Amino acid sequence: MRVLNRSEHPVSRRFIASGALRVLNRLYRAGHTAYLVGGSVRDLFLKRTPKDFDIVTSARPTQVRKLFRNCRLIGRRFRLAHVHFSGGEIVEVATFRCTPELDQDDLLLRSDNRFGSPEEDAYRRDFTINGLFYDISDYSVIDYVGGVRDIEKRVVRTINDPWTRFKEDPVRMIRAIKFASKLNFKIETKTWKAMKEVKADIHKSPLPRVQEELSRLLEEGASCRALTLLDESGLLEELETVLHKYLHGSGRRSEYDPQGSLLFDLLAKVDERSNEGNKPARPLLYCLLLLPHLLAEEFFDAAGPDLLIRNLADTALTAFGASRKDMERVSQLLLAVRRFHQGGRKSRRTAPKALLAKSYFDEALSVFEIFLEATGGDLEQLEWWRG
């Protein structure tokens, strides 16, 4: 175990949400051990702004609920406490867990409901960079698993044997790619080798979890690198054959995509927006995944564009868990993009009022703008529609 005192690390209470501090302090005053844990400690170490703040404690879920009137217990596989604060802040509180008992013939983790010690809890986490604790009692960082070393080396490494950790929970492979891409870290050699060897185990994971993690990959501001790592690891071929075939040159290319790089060019524009604080909605992201394929089918001039969209979406977006509502929005956006493209080539003095009045007009125009930027198109067409 390595303990870094306050002068040896950059984690500061100033950057911890007020609700999380209140939970930590109340648990500590009630006589419980309580640490800030996981991604929030990692991000504070990297001087990034955490998305949320999770806490781990010696208090049992029912004890946490007694301390906080604004607390709800959730979860079946493992009981968690959610403490709600005004403004929508939710602090997740978990009790220290120990290493689960596994069937050596089938390592898939189906039950994780045994309480343990802080050290046991650290070792049952997925990656070393997510295994750090911040102690509110003395403002130290506690490192049982070598997380500080790997943050400094900018490495994503599983805690203990990677083959075992990925077989326990195959979704961890997608999470490794998420952390490597958004943090610009390298995946450690053994961890990467294990991912490539057990990639087919991803089909053992609950489909909704896989779909949610895949969609999140596109939202982190590093979708280009995430897609590359998905492909190089073999996970993309396992999960989404349409995108895999596109990346490997199978099928036709459109005039807008002679080198087969359009998808990366589109995603690069989205990454720029995400990193500027303009997080795109998922239907917009799904549109960009489909657009290169549709253009190869001459989407802008095809006789049945709605059918083209529907058939492709049913095949290519299933892996991302797109809902029927998402599918409908994707169809609306892409059909509007087609109208934008056609309208820009015509000599009408004004844009069609019916399209301008649609609730999805601005979002569709964003898709069109990204397309024009990625292909070097005429951005004056946007002014024609906005005007």
CB 226 within 8 A of CB 220: yes
CA distance 387 to 313: 32
DSSP string, 61-122: HHHHHHH-TTEEEE-SSS-EEEEE-GGG-EEEEEE-B-PPP-BTTB--------B--HHHHH
Known catalytic membership, residue 138:
no
The answer to whether 140 and 22 have CB atoms below 8 angstroms apart is no
Distance, in Å, from the CA atom of 265 to the CA atom of 82, rounded to the nearest integer, reads: 40
Q: Is residue 257 annotated as a catalytic residue, yes or no? A: no
Q: Which of 43, 105, 121, 126 is catalytic?
A: 126
Torsion of CA 59, 62, 63, 68, to 10 degrees: 120
Q: How far apart are CA 47 and CA 42, in angstroms?
A: 9
Q: DSSP state, 350?
A: S
Among the listed residues 43, 54, 201, 271, the single catalytic one is 54
Give catalytic status of residue 52 as yes or no: yes
The alpha carbon torsion through 297, 299, 301, 307 (nearest 10 deg) reads 100
What is d(CA 375, CA 379) in angstroms, rounded to the nearest whole number? 10
Q: Could you tell me the two tokens for 189?
A: 């050699």
223: left (phi over 0), alpha (psi -120 to 50) or beta: alpha
Which residues are annotated as catalytic? 52, 54, 126
